[in-house]
Chain A
Amino acid sequence: MIPATFDGLMPIVILMSIAVLLFWGGHFASVILAPKKPSHLKSTPYECGEQPVGSAWSMFNVRFYVVGLIFIIFDVESVLMFPVASIFREMNDMGQGGYALIIFLSFISILIEGIAYCWKKGDLDWVKSYQVSLNDNNK
């Protein structure tokens, strides 16, 4: 018999497999139903009717990477805050609300410090960092 705590996993797995089956079902339906007249021009990447020049896989600006890095740090912070947030009310009911609030606020204040630093230094600025790097290229 399935323990009650593991019951919740089954619907997730079922829904995921339905999604996969639906995808392949739709794919094979279109394989059967759809016409097949391939030509070279048809399978060139779309560039508004021009002949594509080069590959699209080119080097991208580092700003995307910075956004990813900042995101991960906030992500981990929120992961750490979730368990504390979900017992906050319970602790408040037990009369330890002030203690929990101090711990929670000191955690968040360090987070705010981080975002304030990045804001001040212009790391959250999309355009400014771009202009700085342009100037660097000109030098």
Chain B
Amino acid sequence: MNQTVVSYLSQYEFYDSLLALFGNNQGLLAFTIFLIVALIIVGLCATIGGLGTYAERKISADLQQRIGPNRVGPYGLLQFLADGVKMMTKEDVMPFTADKMLFYLAPMLALVGVFATLAVLPFSSGFAMADLNVGVFYLIAISSLVGLAVFLGGYASNSKWSMLGGMRGASQIISYEIPVTISILAITLLAGGMSFGTIVGMQKGLPINWFIFHNPFAFIAFFVFFTGALAETNRAPFDLPEAESELVSGYHTEYTGMRFGFFALAEYIEVFVVCGVAVALFLGGSNLPVDIKLDIIPIQIIEVVIFLTKTLLLYYVVIWIRWTLPRLRVDQLMSVCWKYLTPMAILNLVGCAIWLVVFNGKSMADMVFGH
């Protein structure tokens, strides 16, 4: 069922006293709890997104034997705050040929699409804001708003670079949604449900129980998913919509100041969300390596830390890939998607279905260790 953070907290005793404090108004209390948790999650993700820009520059500097940002704060850690303040104080320029309404709407749509995905991200078994029945499916659907925002941002600017970037971006994002969706279908098949609670709950215990090691097809599906997800977030080697050496800055060429900042924020949070989804679907999510029956809040916090650690490690890999691999050409981009990833994803789906029936749902670990 739809478990939420409110229904999780309601099993504790302090919930009743909180309820009395709110005059037994369930709806108001639920709203307050959701609002507080939402603000915490948004704050956390905005910080991670901001630190993402810092990490990006620092890691790229490491990979290229430079120093990177080191002026603001210890080791330059506060660089992202300085960048934020800078963006707020920059003049807001809009091309006089631009479509004003869509010019405002596009970054807002990107932000809405990315923030809405945070609702189902399973930070721990209890602290996911909402564990919907249609969790993964909802996440795929709502994140397609970002593709739309990329297109509208490119269109509204009425600049040639933006327009080309926007068209490329939208077609790239919708193309790579196919292998990603089909890889997720394979995991839905193995887990027997679309909610993150079910999927993460199936991967309890040692890493050998993770879905990535469930069978050989799921192992390949992880790489298909990860490649497709990189392309959906416009990360290098798939950053054609904003290829700086050919399209200046792609769909956000004409965006300045805060609105550019929101596009960048949405992009970095989306990378975080995608890494989180990869962790939840394939890499065991927030499960502890040992099975603890005790369900108290400190355990939940440890789970959150495990989830964030895994996600940030994957985030590091994403940045590493960006500064290692060269950019694809447009025709290569399309053939990678339609001729390699999509057939592979379908093959993995068929393989997982056959595996499930032939071996009666057992994973490789079950068969090796025999339980």
Contacts and interface: CB of A to CB of B under 8 A. Distances in A.
Q: Verify whether A and B have any Cβ pair under 8 Å.
A: yes
Given A4-B7, A8-B2, A86-B194, A48 B349 contact: no
B192 to A, nearest CB: 3
Contact of B258 (A26, A37, A47): A26
Interface in A95-113: 97-98, 100-101, 104-105, 108, 111-112
A64 B257 CA distance: 31
Nearest to A67: B171
B143 interface: no
B118 interface: yes
Given A34-B90, A43-B95, A15 B2 contact: no
A71 B178 contact: yes
Interface string B259-278: 10110000000000000000
A11 B334 contact: no
Contact of A34 (B34, B92, B170): B92
Interface string A76-99: 001001100111111011000110
Given A12-B116, A29-B88, A34-B89, A81 B360 contact: no
B361 A93 contact: yes
B202 to A, nearest CB: 9
A82 B139 CA distance: 13
A94 to B, nearest CB: 12
Contacts of B194: 82, 86
Interface string B323-366: 00000001100110011001100100110011011001100000
A108 B348 CA distance: 12
A121 interface: no
A9 to B, nearest CB: 8
Contacts of A134: none
A26 B251 CA distance: 20
B160 A4 contact: no
B314 interface: no
Nearest to B261: A26
Nearest to A118: B338
A16 B334 contact: no
Contacts of B1: 4-5
Contacts of A34: 88-92, 257
A2 B175 contact: no
Interface string A48-87: 1000100111101000100110110011001001100111
B191 interface: yes
A91 B47 CA distance: 44
A-B CB proximity, top 10 nearest: A89-B192, A45-B159, A8-B130, A126-B331, A19-B115, A11-B129, A97-B357, A8-B2, A124-B338, A30-B258
Interface of B: 1-2, 4-7, 26-27, 30-31, 34-35, 37-39, 41-42, 87-98, 104, 107-108, 111-112, 114-116, 118-119, 129-132, 137, 155, 157-163, 167, 170-171, 174-175, 177-178, 181-182, 185, 188-194, 248, 253-254, 257-259, 261-262, 330-331, 334-335, 338-339, 342-343, 346, 349-350, 353-354, 356-357, 360-361
5 contacts: A4-B2, A15-B119, A30-B90, A44-B95, A47-B160
